[in-house]
């Protein structure tokens, strides 16, 4: 088997589309080499080796050593240097690279191959001892941390101490002698801490680093990242070994990162940061404040690359253009300049905010780079969420206490916490928090995930916090030099003297970089421009309709603005709770007899009718599915003695009598109790009242306002066709009575929810009565798994963490189990009634993978909450393309 792929000097064994085998970084290094860009030569050890490594108890395939040695020899030849040679040594970087980019998750070692002999060779060849010792001390630091697992702070502290002693701020100000001394201090310390010498043998160093990259695939940070991003553990990582180029050889050297377009806004402006005389991660780690690449990109306080290295800048501009045209997507690139010569070290499709994704996709269609189909695929449905949420009300007063960089847009508000663990704890109990850090590192991922927003004191637009937050769609303000964070005191102080302690509320504006004290009101997003354009294309390609779950005229309106094509689920129980209504509802439930119930229902009828008129009017003739009363009666009961007391006065009965009745109605397992159609069967007058209200509302609007309305009356929790038969008959009786009374023509449909396994299993029978099915996948998931949604919190997260369940089945539809019932329900339903309308109305209707499944099994529509309607539309288009 071929385990190692070479790239260098314009030729590469790999290609850009070999990401599965070579990882993203390796595949793109090969591709860049092949299209003639300046890439230092090297080779990629495949992901297959990683998989074999874990399969074989952390042992490599036997052929690997030989293949690596052979490829290393080729690199030596090209570079005219020898690995481990004391006269003219080749140094390499050892870099990880998974299929999907995992920013900062895996560790890279630079300047590998240095030891007390080879460093002399580097001095002799470069004539620059300062550079040689700077590289050497960096190598020891990185290797000790990444490969030998020494706490990074230990050597960092020695470096800091040295800087203090010398009275300098930046490591660039240390002399060759200082750095040389650091090397020996580092080595001594490593020996003290680890009880063994720092490895001097370059081969040992190389294999140590390769092993560490493969080992880091299973470190907790990487595992967390994979979980959050649904990356399977089986994929494995590749290892790239590449000859070094040096950004730290003086002031004609630099290292930088850039985006071919702005990753926050999507604007077509080359955008990035760089540092003179620096290496590797210096830019993103926030060691010094990075300088902008172009004049337009900075605030003028620091000179740009365009100004200080115009020739390299020109070349970089050309390369970025080449890359964009080649990949036909926005690129995130890493480069290094050695003695005024530019080298490309990485390119990948850049992470971007939803807003940027939209703009870039639309612009690229205009530029003729991609088709509108591709544009639709360029925006991830989940990502849209970011756009659909409110931003700060521009008119609201705000108390700005500091300003940082607008690293990731959106608005966030919450209590301040200072560690990732605290953020996670707080989020678990439902608190909204803002995570405040000096800077973030990959260890903070779980806290960033839990927080509403992130604020850092240090780091630029390409810092860890900024990149990760944008990927998560979280609001982030980074590099906020206006605040001083004190972890010990659990507080930060703004430049203007305001002290913010743990638990205080702040608001962040990720679009302006402003930090505000207290909470600031928000406004709804504008859904026009690029969003409108993409959604127009989306609607061109999707087949499935998207409806909304809405119970009020207001929700209906919001949903229509988001493009809902009807209501798939209008729950009537929420209406029962509104204002004074609950009294009448309680009166009905607790009435002693039919007469009493009818009296109470008589009070509710006009209110229900009013609700339906409002909703029908808002939906302007689009289909509306109304579900008759579903929850257990028990949910409407009075709870406190005071409530019982009040009710007893209204009903003119003894409080004690009522109390008895309440106790009698108590259920042990109400979700499987007296609810849904079982209520309709035992108290027919409730459903009769609701059908009357629906039909009167429809008739009135049709008659008076000339509307087109076809109400869809939905009967919940049916498990046996006879239930539906009985309830359908009485619904028809009531509906026809109303129609006759108004003397108008109205069509209406009567259907059911499929939310019990028995309903799915007998869907062919149920379809004899039902004119439509709506799969209630929330309850269907509960009843299929035997899993109570209200109690699952105690173990479900653990199940997901242990990968016993691949996902929370209430979030993403369980396609293997629950999904099979839905599929069977569809097939059986259509057998009996080919024209039957099929939809889904659980929470899953707004979750991308579930929507795609619904498309595949041939549903007519999905229905979801108003804010998720665009997500469902986009997912439906992705499914259809
Ligand atoms: P990550 O996956 O975290 O981005 P990389 O493997 O890209 O890690 O390495 C981080 C940085 O190290 C690169 O951006 C680059 O600046 C530097 N680097 C990696 N390999 C080399 C090399 N061969 N020569 C010079 N710098 C390198
Ligand atoms: Mg990189
Ligand atoms: Mg239900």
Question: Residue 203, class by beta-carbon neighbours within 10 Å (0-12 exposed, 13-18 middle, 19+ buried)?
Answer: middle
How far apart CA 434 and CA 417 sit, in angstroms, is 6
CA distance 536 to 300: 40
Does 294 sit in the ligand 1 pocket, CB within 6 Å?
no
The overall average pLDDT reported for the chain is 92
237 lines ligand 1 (CB under 6 A): no
Note the residue count of the chain: 881
pLDDT in tens, 309-335: 999 999 999 999 999 999 999 999 999
Q: Which residue has the tokens 């590998």?
A: 112
How far does the centroid of ligand 3 lie from the alpha carbon of residue 779, in Å? 5
The SS3 assignment for 306 reads helix
Whether 710 and 749 have beta carbons less than 8 Å apart is answered as yes
Question: Which atom of ligand 1 has the smallest separation from the CA of 101?
Answer: 2
Active site residues: 464, 841
Q: Is 346 in the pocket of ligand 1 (CB under 6 A)?
A: yes
Taking residues 41-57, report their average pLDDT.
96
d(CA 327, CA 590): 69
CA atoms of 379 and 361, how far apart (whole Å)? 8
Q: Checking phi first, is residue 437 left (phi over 0); if not, alpha (psi -120 to 50) or beta?
A: beta
Closest to 609 (Cα-Cα) out of 714, 693, 690: 693
pLDDT for the residue 865: 84
pLDDT tens per residue across span 380-436: 998 887 787 668 887 889 999 999 988 888 899 999 999 999 999 999 888 999 999
Would you say residue 855 has pLDDT above 60?
yes
Q: Is the CB of 40 under 6 A from ligand 1?
A: yes
pLDDT of residue 276: 93
Nearest ligand to the C-alpha of residue 441? Answer: 1
HSE toward the beta carbon, residue 135, CA cutoff 13 A: 30
In angstroms, what is the span from residue 334 Cα to ligand 2's centroid? Answer: 6
Summarize pLDDT for 760-805 with one digit per residue, the tens. Answer: 999 999 999 999 999 999 899 999 999 887 777 778 878 887 889 9
Q: What is the pLDDT of residues 276-316, one digit of tens each?
A: 999 987 877 766 788 999 888 777 788 999 999 999 999 99
Atom in ligand 1 nearest the alpha carbon of residue 283: 16
Would you say the CB of residue 334 lies under 6 angstroms from ligand 1?
Answer: yes
Counting Cβ atoms within 10 Å, is residue 802 exposed (0-12), middle (13-18) or buried (19+)? exposed
Mutate to test the pocket of ligand 1, among 38, 91, 93, 272 (most ligand atoms within 8 A of CB): 93
d(CA 447, CA 98): 23
Model pLDDT, residue 472: 72
Q: Count Cα neighbours of 246 within 13 Å in the Cβ-side half-sphere.
A: 22
Helical H segments across 814-859, by residue range = 818-832, 848-856
Half-sphere exposure of 594 toward its Cβ, with a 13 Å CA cutoff?
4
Residue nearest to atom 13 of ligand 1 (CA): 280
Measure 417 CA to ligand 1 centroid, in angstroms. 32
778 C-alpha to ligand 3 centroid (Å) = 6
Nearby residues for ligand 2 (ion, Cβ within 5 Å) = 334, 346
Q: Is the CB of 273 under 6 A from ligand 1?
A: no
- Give the whole-angstrom CA distance, residue 105 versus residue 227: 13
Between residues 632 and 700, the one the model is more confident about: 700
Phi and psi angles of residue 358, each rounded to the nearest 5 degrees, phi first? -60, -50
pTM over 0.90: no
Between the CA of 93 and the centroid of ligand 2 the distance, in Å, is 12
CB 822 within 8 A of CB 777: yes
Residue nearest to atom 24 of ligand 1 (CA): 244
Question: To 5 degrees, how large is the angle CA 658–CA 663–CA 667?
Answer: 135
Nearest CA residue ID for atom 12, ligand 1: 280
Nearest of 829, 716, 832, 830 to residue 778 by alpha carbon: 716
User: How would you classify the pairing of strands 505-509 and 514-517?
Assistant: antiparallel
Residues 94 and 711: their CA atoms lie apart, in Å, by: 65
Instruction: Answer yes or no: is the C-beta of 255 below 6 A from any ligand 1 atom.
Output: yes
Tell me what pLDDT residue 664 has: 85
Q: Are 141 and 156 within 8 A, CB to CB?
A: yes
Residue 408: per-residue pLDDT = 83
Among candidate residues 486, 468, 488, the one with its CA nearest the CA of residue 478 = 468
Q: Distance between CA atoms of 225 and 464, rounded to whole angstroms?
A: 13
Report which DSSP code applies to 136.
H
For residue 47, the model assigns a pLDDT of 96
pLDDT at position 108 over 90:
no
Closest-CA residue, ligand 1 atom 11, reads 280
101 lines ligand 1 (CB under 6 A): no
Q: Domains in the chain and their CATH numbers?
A: 254-349 (3.30.470.20), 390-523 (3.50.30.10), 542-562+755-881 (3.20.20.60), 572-749 (3.20.20.60)
Q: ipTM surpassing 0.90, yes or no?
A: yes
The answer, yes or no, to whether residue 527 has pLDDT greater than 90, is no
Say which ligand is closest to the CA of 631: 3
Q: Relative to the alpha carbon of 138, which ligand is closest? A: 1
Q: Classify strands 499-501 and 11-12 as parallel, antiparallel or unpaired.
A: unpaired
- Counting from 1 in the atom list of ligand 1, the atom nearest the Cα of 40 is 23
Region of 808 on the Ramachandran plot (φ > 0 left; ψ -120 to 50 alpha; else beta)? beta
Return all residues near 222 (Cβ < 8 A) that are at least 6 apart.
102, 105, 106, 216
In this prediction, residue 451 carries a pLDDT of: 95
* Ligand 1 in reach of 242 Cβ (< 6 A): yes
């Amino acid at each position: 088997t071929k385990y190692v792929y070479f790239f260098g000097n314009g030729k590469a064994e790999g290609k850009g589309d070999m990401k599965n085998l070579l990882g993203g970084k390796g595949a793109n290094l090969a591709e860049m080499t092949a299209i003639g860009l300046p890439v230092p030569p090297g080779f990629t050890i495949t992901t297959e080796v990683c998989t074999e490594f874990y399969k074989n108890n952390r042992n490599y395939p036997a052929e690997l050593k030989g293949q690596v040695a052979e490829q290393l020899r080729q690199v030596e030849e090209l570079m005219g240097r020898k690995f481990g040679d004391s006269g003219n040594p080749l140094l390499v970087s050892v870099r990880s690279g998974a299929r999907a980019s995992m920013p900062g998750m895996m560790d890279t070692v630079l300047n590998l191959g240095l030891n007390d002999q080879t460093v002399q060779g580097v001095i002799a060849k470069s004539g620059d001892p300062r550079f040689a010792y700077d590289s050497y001390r960096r190598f020891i630091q990185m290797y000790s941390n990444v490969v030998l697992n020494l706490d990074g702070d230990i050597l960092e502290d020695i470096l800091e101490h040295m800087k203090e002693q010398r009275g300098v701020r930046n490591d660039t100000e240390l002399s060759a002698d200082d750095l040389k001394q650091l090397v020996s201090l580092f080595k001594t310390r490593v020996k003290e801490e680890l009880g063994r010498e720092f490895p001097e043998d370059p081969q040992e160093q190389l294999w140590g680093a390769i092993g560490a990259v493969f080992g880091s695939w299973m470190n907790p940070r990487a595992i967390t990242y994979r979980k959050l991003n649904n990356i399977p553990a089986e994929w494995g990582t590749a290892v790239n070994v590449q000859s070094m180029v040096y950004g730290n050889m003086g002031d004609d050297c630099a290292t930088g990162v850039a985006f071919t377009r702005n990753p926050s806004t999507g604007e077509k402006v080359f955008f990035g940061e760089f540092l003179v005389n620096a290496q590797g991660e210096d830019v993103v780690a926030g060691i010094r404040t990075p300088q902008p690449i172009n004049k337009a990109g900075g605030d003028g306080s620091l000179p740009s690359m365009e100004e200080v290295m115009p020739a390299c800048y020109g070349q970089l501009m050309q390369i970025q253009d080449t890359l964009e045209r080649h990949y036909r997507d926005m690129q995130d690139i890493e480069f290094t300049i050695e003695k005024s010569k530019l080298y490309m070290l990485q390119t990948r499709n850049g992470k971007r905010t939803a807003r940027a994704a939209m703009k870039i996709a639309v612009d690229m269609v205009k530029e003729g780079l991609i088709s509108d189909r591709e544009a639709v695929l360029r925006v991830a449905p989940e990502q849209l969420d970011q756009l659909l949420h409110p931003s700060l009300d521009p008119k609201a007063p705000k108390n700005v206490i500091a300003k940082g960089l607008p690293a990731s847009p959106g608005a966030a508000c919450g209590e301040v916490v200072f560690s990732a663990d605290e953020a996670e704890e707080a989020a678990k109990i439902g608190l909204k928090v803002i995570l405040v850090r000096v800077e973030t590192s990959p260890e903070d991922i779980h806290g960033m995930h839990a927080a509403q927003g992130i604020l850092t004191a240090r780091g630029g637009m390409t810092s860890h916090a900024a990149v990760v937050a944008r990927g998560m769609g979280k609001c982030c303000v980074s590099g906020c030099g206006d605040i001083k964070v004190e972890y010990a005191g659990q507080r930060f102080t703004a430049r203007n003297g305001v002290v913010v302690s743990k638990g205080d509320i702040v608001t962040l504006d990720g679009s302006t970089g402003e930090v505000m004290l207290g909470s600031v009101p928000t406004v709804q997003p504008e859904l026009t421009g690029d969003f409108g354009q993409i959604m127009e294309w989306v609607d061109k390609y999707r087949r499935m309709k998207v409806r909304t779950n809405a119970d009020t005229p207001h929700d209906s309106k919001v949903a229509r603005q988001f493009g809902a094509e009807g209501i798939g689920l209008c729950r009537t129980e929420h209406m029962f709770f509104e204002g004074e209504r609950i009294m009448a509802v309680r009166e009905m439930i607790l009435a002693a007899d039919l007469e009493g119930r009818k009296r109470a229902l008589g009070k509710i009828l006009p209110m229900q009718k009013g609700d339906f008129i409002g909703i029908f009017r808002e939906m302007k003739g689009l289909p509306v599915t109304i579900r008759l009363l579903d929850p257990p009666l028990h949910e409407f009961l009075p709870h406190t003695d005071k409530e019982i007391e009040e009710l007893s006065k209204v009903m003119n009965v003894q409080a004690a009598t009522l109390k008895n009745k309440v106790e009698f109605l108590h259920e042990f397992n109400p979700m499987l109790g007296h609810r849904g159609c079982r209520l309709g069967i035992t108290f027919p007058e409730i459903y009769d009242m609701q059908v009357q209200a629906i039909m009167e509302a429809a008739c009135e609007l049709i008659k008076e306002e000339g509307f087109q309305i076809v109400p869809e009356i939905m009967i919940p929790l049916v498990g046996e066709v006879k239930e539906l038969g009985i309830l359908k008959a009485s619904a028809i009786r009531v509906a026809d009575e109303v129609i006759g009374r108004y003397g108008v023509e109205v069509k209406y449909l009567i259907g059911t929810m499929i939310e019990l396994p028995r309903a799915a299993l007998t869907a062919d029978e149920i379809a004899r009565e039902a004119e439509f099915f709506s799969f209630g996948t929330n309850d269907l998931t509960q009843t299929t798994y035997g899993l109570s949604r209200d109690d699952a919190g105690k173990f479900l997260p653990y199940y997901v963490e242990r990968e016993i369940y691949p996902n929370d089945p209430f979030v993403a539809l369980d396609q293997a189990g629950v999904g099979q019932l839905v599929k069977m329900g569809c097939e059986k339903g259509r057998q009996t009634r080919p024209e039957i309308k099929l939809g889904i109305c659980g929470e899953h209707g707004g979750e991308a993978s579930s929507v795609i499944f619904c498309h595949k099994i041939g549903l007519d529509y999905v229905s979801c909450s108003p804010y998720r309607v665009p997500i469902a539309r986009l997912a439906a288009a992705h499914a259809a393309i």
